[in-house]
Amino acid sequence: MRMLAASPLLASPYLFGGSLASLLGAGDLTEGAFLGWLDALQQSGEVISSPGQALDVLDFEPAARKALPPAHFGHLATGVDDDGTVRANREAYSRIQIRPRRLVAVEKVDMSVRLLGTTWSSPIVICPIGGQKAFHPEGDVAVARAARAKDHLQILSTVATSSVEEVTAARGAPVWQQLYPTNVWEVGRSIVKRAQAAGCPAIVFTVDLQEGSNRETLFRAQQTDKRDCSTCHQGAYTGWARGRPGAASGGFSQFAARKPMFDGLDLSKVTALRPVPLDWDFVKRLRDTVTVKLLIKGIVTREDAQLAVEHGVDGLIVSNHGGRAEETLRPTIESLPEVLVGVGGKIPVIVDGGIRRGTDIFKALALGATAVGIGRPQSWGLAAFGQPGVEAVLEILRRELRTIMRQAGTATVVSINRSYVVARVP
């Protein structure tokens, strides 16, 4: 704590540094006084003003809120209904305890993982997020530059605001392409072909969104946003959020005009981002079309995991869309074990949803995930500080994972297994 007081961080007025420094400098530090300071800090609502001030990735959320107009922050934050599944994703990690082993010599921590034939320096994957230019003018390109700087796998959304070619160039290496195939087969097929031509080694088919997701936090935020949004959102396609009070009807072409992955395609018959019907026959057809790896994102049950393997899928992402699809109240980390039973070790399984700490990543790996996906934290970093913000988010997570791996006595990711975690006794 005395080292903390001497740190340049605390020399600034930021984070009550002055008062902690004087508390420590006066030599009268008691545990109670320190905890009181910490409590005051947590209640203070102070917001970081540079990436270097962040102590953890959660510090970026208030900075993003401050940087964004209410409706854009609402779009990022929202779940569905009461946001119960958003909270469940996060809270589930606090029910899992870590069992560190002692007296294990860990000189060097190796966080690398092998995923579908490629080795990555960490198991932290950047999830697809649509419309990132709503958070920062450089959008997915800034994320790609950060992914390049820190060597992370990036998955690009179909409804990204930058093209797969631009993002691949900024990343300096191929990215994976997420797929919303739409209700018109030729449109979906063209997106797959374009992504493959850009060098994408994997297509990630998202299957967890139907229509009418009740994104109430977004709708409330929209009501408080007093800006004129019609220049960007005129006649906007409201997609799965259709049905909200006052929602515009349809307007897919105008929506798609701002999404480069639809450039040059005939969208006259497109009415939905999902295929109609969204079923296993569609997966069969897609499997026959995709010449690179095919993953499904949004699987949360053993039965569907088994079916995915039977349909020749190469990997799964256990996901509930960050609690934005339906209000199941079921955290993804609690779905992971049954999905792993379903795949029986035949294909890799990534899990996303609520991962905010290196210890969360450690727990997911211990429960059998090959890698983990990060959604909102990348956008918090992006919204608040652009590329340096995303880099800081990735760096903090890497640092925290390295720390817990060392503490637990696990020098490599493959050495992290179920024996390192235990469920909290209720």
- Closest to ligand FMN by CB, 20 or 218: 218
**Which residue from 72, 150, 297, 363 is in contact with ligand FMN, where contact means CB under 6 A?**
297
Give how many residues touch ligand FMN by CB under 6 A. 24
Does 123 sit near ligand FMN (CB under 6 A)?
A: no
**Which residue from 125, 129, 350, 421 is in contact with ligand FMN, where contact means CB under 6 A?**
129
- With tokens 């696990």, the residue in question is 410
Task: Please report, for residues 223, 257, 258, the alpha-carbon distance to residue 251 in angstroms, rounded to integers and kept in the order given.
Answer: 21, 10, 12
Does 322 sit near ligand FMN (CB under 6 A)?
A: yes
Q: What minimum distance in Å lies between the beta carbon of 269 and ligand FMN?
A: 21
- Closest to ligand FMN by CB, 76 or 308: 76
- Closest to ligand FMN by CB, 37 or 205: 205
Binding mask 189-228 toward ligand FMN (x if CB under 6 A, else -) reads -----------------x----------------------
CA–CA distance, 312 with 293 (Å, rounded to integer): 10
Q: What minimum distance in Å lies between the beta carbon of 298 and ligand FMN?
A: 7
**Which residue from 128, 260, 358, 388 is in contact with ligand FMN, where contact means CB under 6 A?**
128
Report the greatest alpha carbon distance in the chain.
73
Q: What minimum distance in Å lies between the beta carbon of 99 and ligand FMN?
A: 25
Residues numbered 40-99 forming contacts with ligand FMN, rule: CB under 6 A: 75-76, 89
Catalytic residue among 72, 75, 152, 321: 321
The interface region with ligand FMN, picked from 21-29, 115-123, 316-324, 363-371 by CB under 6 A, is 316-324
The interface region with ligand FMN, picked from 56-64, 96-104, 348-356, 402-410 by CB under 6 A, is 348-356
The interface region with ligand FMN, picked from 63-71, 123-131, 191-199, 248-256 by CB under 6 A, is 123-131
Residues numbered 142-171 forming contacts with ligand FMN, rule: CB under 6 A: 157, 159
Q: What minimum distance in Å lies between the beta carbon of 300 and ligand FMN?
A: 12
- Closest to ligand FMN by CB, 35 or 276: 276
Neighbours of 424 (CB within 10 A): 8
Q: Would residue 321 show up in a list of annotated catalytic residues for this protein?
A: yes
- Closest to ligand FMN by CB, 213 or 319: 319
Q: What minimum distance in Å lies between the beta carbon of 154 and ligand FMN?
A: 11
Site residues for ligand FMN per CB under 6 A: 75-76, 89, 127-130, 157, 159, 178, 206, 297, 319, 321-322, 324, 352-355, 373-376
Kindly list the catalytic residues: 321
